[in-house]
Chain A
Amino acid sequence: MADTKRPSGAAVQKDLSMDLQKKMIADHYLALQNSKAEGRKSVYTFVPGNLTELIRSFDLLPVLPEINALQSGMRGLSAGYIAEAEKAGHSEDVCTYVKCDLGMLKKGNISPTGTQLPDPDLLLLSYTGCFTFMKWFELLREEYGAPTSMLHVPYQSNGTIQEHQIEYVVDQLKTEVIPKLEKISGKKFDEGRLAEMLELSARAEDDLVWVLESAKNVPSPIDAYFGGVYYIGPMFTAFRGTPEAVDYYAALRREIEERLRRKQGPVTPEGEAKNERFRLVVEGPPNWTSFRAFWKMFYDEGAVVVASSYTKVGGLYDRGFRHDPSRPLQSLAEYCLGCYTNLGLPSRVDLLASYVREYNAHGFLINSVKSCNSFSAGQLLILRQIEERTGVPGGFIESDLVDPRYFSSANIKNRIESYLQMLEQKGRTEARA
Chain B
Amino acid sequence: MKSWKIYVGIDLGSTTTKAVILDQNQRVLGKGITNSRSNYDVAAAIARSEAIVQARFSLLRSFVRDHETLVQVTDKVLPVLELSFRFQQYLEQLGRLQTELHRAASSSRYENRQSELERLVDLIVDEMAVRMKEAFVPGHERKSDFFRDLAGAEYMKLAEDHASKNGIGFEELCGLYDAAILPVENTAGKTGFIENIQSALASTVSRLAEDPSWTPRIETELRACVSEGAQAQLEEIATVGTGYGRARLPFPREQIRSEILCHGLGAHEMFPGTATVLDIGGQDTKAIQVDENGIVTSFQMNDRCAAGCGRYLGYIADEMNLGLHELGPLAQQARKKVKISSTCTVFAGAELRDRLSMGQRREDILAGLHRAIILRAMSLLARSGGVDDEFTFTGGVARNPAAVAAVERLIAENYGERTINISPDSIYTGALGAALFAKKGGRDAHEFKRN
Contact = CB atoms under 8 A, between A and B. Distances in A.
Interface of A: 277, 279, 360, 362, 370, 380, 384, 387, 393-394, 396-398, 406, 408, 410-411, 414-415, 417-419, 421-431
B192 to A, nearest CB: 35
Given A370-B304, A380-B383, 16 more contacts: A277-B446, A360-B450, A387-B298, A408-B303, A410-B244, A414-B301, A415-B303, A418-B258, A418-B299, A424-B445, A424-B448, A425-B295, A426-B297, A427-B449, A427-B450, A431-B448
A414 B244 contact: yes
Contacts, number: 70
B260 interface: yes
A362 B299 CA distance: 16
17 contacts: A277-B448, A277-B449, A398-B304, A414-B258, A415-B301, A418-B258, A418-B259, A418-B299, A418-B301, A421-B260, A422-B261, A422-B297, A425-B261, A425-B295, A425-B296, A427-B448, A427-B449
Contacts of A279: 450
Contacts of A428: 444, 447-448
Contacts of A422: 258, 260-261, 296-297, 299
A430 B451 contact: yes
B311 interface: no
A411 B448 contact: no
Contacts of B370: none
Nearest to B383: A380
Contacts of B298: 387, 393-394
Given A421-B261, A431-B451, A426 B295 contact: yes
Nearest to B385: A384
A429 B295 contact: yes
Contacts of A431: 448-449, 451
Contacts of A429: 293, 295
A421 B295 contact: no
B239 interface: no
B16 to A, nearest CB: 18
**In the complex, the 10 A-B pairs of residues with the closest C-beta atoms, listed nearest first:** A418-B258, A418-B260, A424-B448, A431-B451, A398-B303, A422-B296, A421-B258, A427-B448, A417-B258, A421-B261
A248 B451 CA distance: 37
B300 interface: yes
Contacts of A370: 304
B304 A408 contact: yes
Contacts of A427: 448-451
B297 A393 contact: yes
Interface in B412-451: 444-451
A396 B300 contact: yes
Interface string B292-323: 01011111110110000000000000000000
B18 interface: no
Q: How large is the interface on B (under 10, 10 to 19, 20 to 34, 35 or more residues)?
A: 20 to 34
Nearest to B283: A411
Interface in B242-267: 244, 257-261
Contact of B304 (A411, A414, A419): A411
Contacts of A430: 451
A36 B181 CA distance: 70
A397 B445 CA distance: 23
Contacts of A411: 301, 303-304
Interface string B277-303: 000000000000000010111111101
Contacts of B295: 425-426, 429
Given A380-B383, A427-B450, A406 B259 contact: no
A419 B299 CA distance: 8
A418 B293 contact: no
A234 B67 CA distance: 81
B343 to A, nearest CB: 14
A428 B450 CA distance: 8
Contacts of A380: 383
Contacts of B385: 384
Given A427-B449, A429-B295, A397 B303 contact: yes
Contacts of A426: 295-297
A56 B447 CA distance: 53
Contacts of B446: 277
A239 to B, nearest CB: 36
Residue among A394, A414, A418, A430 with most chain B CB within 10 A:
A418
A406 B445 CA distance: 32
A429 B261 CA distance: 13
A355 to B, nearest CB: 16
A333 to B, nearest CB: 39
A423 B449 CA distance: 10
Contacts of A414: 244, 258, 301
Contacts of B244: 410, 414
A2 B58 CA distance: 44
Contacts of A424: 445, 448
A3 B299 CA distance: 26
A288 to B, nearest CB: 17
Contacts of A394: 298
A418 B448 contact: no
B156 to A, nearest CB: 35
A178 to B, nearest CB: 46
B298 to A, nearest CB: 6
A346 B96 CA distance: 66
B277 to A, nearest CB: 13
Contact of B450 (A362, A384, A419, A425): A362
A428 B451 CA distance: 9
A424 to B, nearest CB: 4
Interface in B308-358: none
A233 B269 CA distance: 50
Contacts of B450: 279, 360, 362, 427
A421 B434 CA distance: 13
Contacts of B296: 422, 425-426
Given A360-B450, A427-B451, A406 B299 contact: no
Contacts of A421: 257-258, 260-261
Residue among A362, A396, A423 with most chain B CB within 10 A:
A396
Contacts of B260: 418, 421-422
A422 B294 CA distance: 11
A303 B427 CA distance: 32
A406 B304 contact: yes
A423 B259 CA distance: 14
A428 B448 CA distance: 6
Nearest to A418: B258
Nearest to B257: A421
